[in-house]
Amino acid sequence: MVAANALKELGEIALNYVIENHFFDSFAMPVVVYWSQHVIRFIPAPMNHRLPLILIMLLLLASGAFAQTFRIQGKIIDAQTREPLPNAKVRVLGAQKAVLSEQDGMFYLESPVQYPRLRITYVGYTTLEYQAKEGDPTSLLIPLSQSEIDLEDVVITGEKIEQVYPDPLIHIHNYEFSGENLVLLIQEPGSNQHKLILYNQEDSILDVAYGVEPISGLFRDCFGKVHLLSKNYACQLLESPNQLRFACDSLEEFERVVRPVLGAIGSTLFYGQALNDFESVFYSVTADRKGSSLVYTTRDREKIRRVEDDRLMASKNVPLYGWMGDAMRESSEANAYEQYMKKIGNAPIIVPLKVVGNEAVIFDHANDKLVRFNMLGDSLDEAPISYHKERFWQKKLVVDELRREVYTVFLKNGKSILKEIDLETGEISGEWTIPMQFVQNIRIRGGYAWFIYKDSVYDDIRRLFRMQLK
């Protein structure tokens, strides 16, 4: 290992030499060099620089050859019943390594260090950190103790899927979580008017109310406050355990102050702004509002390239087929290009920001990565992502605030598929399919997926369900 460390130091010195002497300036052919767990892209310099560059590449390759991984295996069990726990998440702290335990509770992973520190999480159980050490058995046995607080907002009935507020005639238009309760926006049979129901976890109605004018929707802000939206007003639901009480303001003020905030960590608010159809910026503002700080900027370079290529083809009157070709034949070249841009080029880039625990996470789908930030806007880490390139992706992200997990949504054969994103690796770590077709308003809370389902074959009533994921 001493020789490996020395060789790695030589590789770092060589890399610095490449950068300082501008060997990147006249590149031609792409060459990929793997150095430990990183990928460094070089392009060969002219002939007078080839010899030092070849030596540098050999040093980097040699240093990567000494990289080692260590196999860790074990079994996750219930500390009291000694039963195995399937789908427990086992993560190597300080490394982008995580796996789920199998049906028999066993897990297997590769660690970059011989004695890693493991973090084990499982719904309904207390999170455990275990430090591997010399003298441990070949297969670890890790017991987890049940927690009394992890599922405080969830009622477990023993069924995979259950209906919430099971009134056969009530049409549930929308719903939101307010503290430990549920706010339902419902429509009664034979009426076009919506009303609110405050519903608790014991399936009891706590209060019923109407808005100052017909309610058009619900909105939950970054602080967890529920707002009732109507034609002219936005009324915030005040904190009251058993009553529906509101403070109303104009809808215009709500759109100006509340809706633009993407997330909040403590007293720091995060905002985003699309500069155009190819660029977005994110910035943070502290509670004193003395100024804003730039957090992140992104550009969709591939989209810019495609649009410029299309612009060039249109300017040269190159024959095009499909929608673009039809438009060019029916109207002038300039007008056809303008229509094309409105149809194709003006779709905004998909770069959402989500707050997960004490971190703000930007999912930069335009550049295939996620980036995590702290409340000061400092970058903590980033990881590559590729799930958004798969078929049937719905361009949606859902956060489980209680468990600090993020899911993305796919739709195949009318059924929604939820996939959990590991924020440290960017990989998919779990997958669940909702058996009903074309469900709406999917939210995830405390390990349960909530959704509205309308069975048009029978009665066309929108009903609310929850499905246990973990």
pLDDT in tens, 59-68: 544 444 445 6
Average pLDDT over every residue of 393-414: 95
Q: Looking at 107-111, 148-152, 243-247, 438-442, which range is the least confident one?
A: 148-152
Give the strand order in the sheet containing 440-445.
161-164, 462-468, 448-454, 440-445
149 found inside a domain = no
Judge whether residue 18 has pLDDT over 50.
no
Distance between CA atoms of residues 270 and 286, nearest Å: 9
Judge whether residue 405 has pLDDT over 90.
yes
| Strands 70-78, 106-111: pairing kind | antiparallel
Query: Domain check: are 81 and 138 in the same one?
Result: yes
| pLDDT score for 202 | 75
Query: Domain check: are 61 and 74 in the same one?
Result: no
Burial 186-219 (b: 16+ CB within 10 A, else e): bbeeeeeebbbbbbeeeeeebeebebeeebeebb
Judge whether residue 337 has pLDDT over 80.
no
Q: Looking at 228-237, 263-272, 292-301, which range is the least confident one?
A: 292-301
pTM for the whole thing?
0.60
Judge whether residue 176 has pLDDT over 50.
yes
409 pLDDT tier (thresholds 50, 70, 90) = very high
Contacts (Cβ under 8 Å, ≥6 apart) of 265: 355, 358, 359, 360, 374, 375
| pLDDT score for 316 | 56
Average pLDDT over every residue of 112-121: 85
162 found inside a domain = no
> Who has greater pLDDT, 21 or 422?
422
Q: Which of 98, 116, 144 is the last residue of a domain?
A: 144
Query: Domain check: are 61 and 76 in the same one?
Result: no
| pLDDT score for 428 | 94
Do residues 385 and 372 lie in contact, with contact meaning Cβ atoms separated by under 8 Å?
A: no
CATH of the domain at 121: 2.60.40.1120
Average pLDDT over every residue of 337-347: 51
Which candidate, 280, 274, 263, 299, places its Cα nearest to that of 374? Answer: 263
pLDDT tens for each residue of 284-318 = 988 666 678 899 998 877 666 666 666 665 555 55
Average pLDDT over every residue of 105-128: 84
Judge whether residue 163 has pLDDT over 60.
yes
Query: Domain check: are 80 and 129 in the same one?
Result: yes
Judge whether residue 130 has pLDDT over 60.
yes
| pLDDT score for 29 | 37
114 found inside a domain = yes
Query: Domain check: are 53 and 86 in the same one?
Result: no
Distance between CA atoms of residues 452 and 173, nearest Å: 8
Query: Domain check: are 77 and 136 in the same one?
Result: yes
255 found inside a domain = no
Which candidate, 366, 341, 345, 371, places its Cα nearest to that of 356? Answer: 371
Query: Domain check: are 50 and 93 in the same one?
Result: no
| pLDDT score for 70 | 82
Q: Which of 282, 314, 345 is the last residue of a domain?
A: 345
CA 176 to chain centre: 20
202 found inside a domain = no
Contacts (Cβ under 8 Å, ≥6 apart) of 325: 319
353 found inside a domain = no
Instruction: Give the total number of structural domains in the chain.
Output: 3
Of 52-56, 60-64, 156-160, 328-332, which has the strongest mean pLDDT? Answer: 52-56
| pLDDT score for 348 | 64
Q: Which of 34, 65, 96 is the last residue of a domain?
A: 65
215 found inside a domain = no
Q: What is the mean pLDDT of the chain?
A: 77
pLDDT tens for each residue of 367-379 = 999 999 998 888 9
Contacts (Cβ under 8 Å, ≥6 apart) of 244: 183, 196, 198, 207, 208, 209, 237
40 pLDDT tier (thresholds 50, 70, 90) = very low
Judge whether residue 154 has pLDDT over 80.
no
Query: Domain check: are 85 and 119 in the same one?
Result: yes
Distance between CA atoms of residues 143 and 81, nearest Å: 10
pLDDT tens for each residue of 4-15 = 444 445 445 444
Q: What percent of the chain has pLDDT over 90?
A: 34
Average pLDDT over every residue of 342-348: 52
pLDDT tens for each residue of 209-225 = 887 678 888 999 998 99
Q: What separation, in Å, do the N-terminal and C-terminal C-alpha atoms of the chain show?
A: 42
| pLDDT score for 23 | 45
| pLDDT score for 273 | 86
9: left (phi over 0), alpha (psi -120 to 50) or beta: alpha
| Strands 292-299, 353-356: pairing kind | unpaired
Query: Domain check: are 17 and 57 in the same one?
Result: yes
> Who has greater pLDDT, 152 or 441?
441
Query: Which three-class secondary structure state does DSSP give residue 143?
Result: strand
443 found inside a domain = no
Domain extent for 318: 301-345
112 pLDDT tier (thresholds 50, 70, 90) = confident
